[in-house]
Amino acid sequence: MSALFTKKTFTANRFRKNNLSRFMAGALLVAIAAGCSNNKADATSNTDTIGSAQETASSAATGDNGTDATVVEALQANLNASGIEETIVSAVPTAMDGIYWVTAEGLPSFFTDKSGKHIIQGQIIAVGEGTPVDISAELTANTVQEALAAVDKEEMVIYPAVGETKAVVYSFTDADCPYCTKLHEEIDDINESGIEVRYLAWPRSQASVPKMEAIWCSEDRHAAMDQAKIGANVQAPSCDNPVQAHMELGARLGVRGTPAIFTETGQQVGGYLPAAQLAQAVGIN
């Protein structure tokens, strides 16, 4: 009973959102891509600029150099003083003096200062040494790459590439999202182009949670996914499944709509993209 209560409580909190996560989502300036949002203020971000920025990014300090425990403690204390119940995981120094890259449970990563008194969202661009460099893009991509690589393949519904695997993409998906359906209608063409698609669950509403859990609890997940994408009512006995974990992961990575498509290097390339455009986006000509 306690496990069920915890599961339902987390799901309810995911859709209600706490004050900080709602404020952060509303404050983000995003490019609107083709996708289904889970509220009026949200849309899947299309971060095409990450690719070019990452190629020229300087070696900003990441987790390899360790977190600053003093900044973590200060930020945690300031959040608690403001009545915000979030757990700070790490605060890593960046290429900008006095600015730290913060990872928190259930929130998109953000910047803070050494005092931990300010939450800073958006780009930090370094200039003065040739081509401008978006250091925030590199840090975001690194965070996403590590998080997705840590997901067990058994937890995902994977549609492998046909022949040589030229690229791998992760797609947070919802059974009730029309743009997710459009993407899945082209799954054969996507696989034929050499792209492996790894689906993670991202129900956009409370009503979609049972459908997503039924897919992941089905004996044949691929068949269940295919049926769900054409509007069939998929049912399966309840089981231990990763849907809640995927929802939490998506929240931490800043997913605000579906499909949210990421490459293995942590770049977000869409929103829905037709098969040919998706191939171009991941570098397949």
Question: How many other β-carbons are positioned within 10 Å of the β-carbon of residue 231?
Answer: 10
pLDDT band at 126; cut points 50, 70, 90 = confident
Comparison of pLDDT for 155 and 61, the residue scoring more: 155
* Res 57: pLDDT: 33
**Which one of 84-93, 119-128, 196-205 scores highest in mean pLDDT?**
196-205
So which residues are the catalytic ones?
174, 177, 180, 204
User: Does the structure show a pLDDT above 90 at 43?
Assistant: no
9 band by pLDDT with thresholds 50, 70 and 90? very low
Q: In whole angstroms, what is the distance from residue 114 CA to residue 133 CA?
A: 22
pLDDT top residue among 28 and 238: 238
Cα separations (Å) of 201 from 29, 45, 79, 128, 192?
A: 25, 18, 30, 42, 23
123 vs 182, more confident: 182
Helices (H) and strands (E) in the chain, counts: 11, 13
Query: What's residue 55's pLDDT?
Result: 36
Write down the pLDDT at residue 14. Answer: 52
| 206-262 per-position pLDDT tens digit | 999 999 999 999 999 999 999 999 999 999 999 999 999 999 999 889 898 999 999
| Contact yes or no for 138/95 (Cβ under 8 A) | no
User: How far is the C-alpha of 24 from the C-alpha of 22, rounded, in Å?
Assistant: 5
User: In whole numbers, what is the pLDDT of the chain averaged over residues?
Assistant: 82
CA angle 277, 279, 284 (to 5 degrees): 135
Residue 51 has pLDDT above 70, yes or no: no
H or E stretch at 20: helix 19-27
Task: pLDDT band for 32, please (50, 70, 90 cuts).
Answer: very low
Strands (E), 24-64: 36-37
Name the band, by pLDDT with cuts 50, 70 and 90, for residue 63.
Answer: very low
State the maximum Cα–Cα separation within the chain, in Å, rounded to a whole number.
60
242-258 exposure pattern, b = at least 16 Cβ within 10 A, e = fewer: bbbebbbbbbbbbbbbb
Lowest mean pLDDT: which of 116-130, 144-158, 199-213? 116-130
Quickly state the pLDDT bin for 66 (edges 50, 70, 90).
confident
d(CA 87, CA 72): 9
- If you average pLDDT over residues 192-216, what whole number do you get? 96
CB 179 within 8 A of CB 259: yes
Which residue did the predictor score with more confidence, 5 or 132? Answer: 132
- Please state, in angstroms and rounded to a whole number, the distance separating the CA atoms of residues 187 and 92: 38
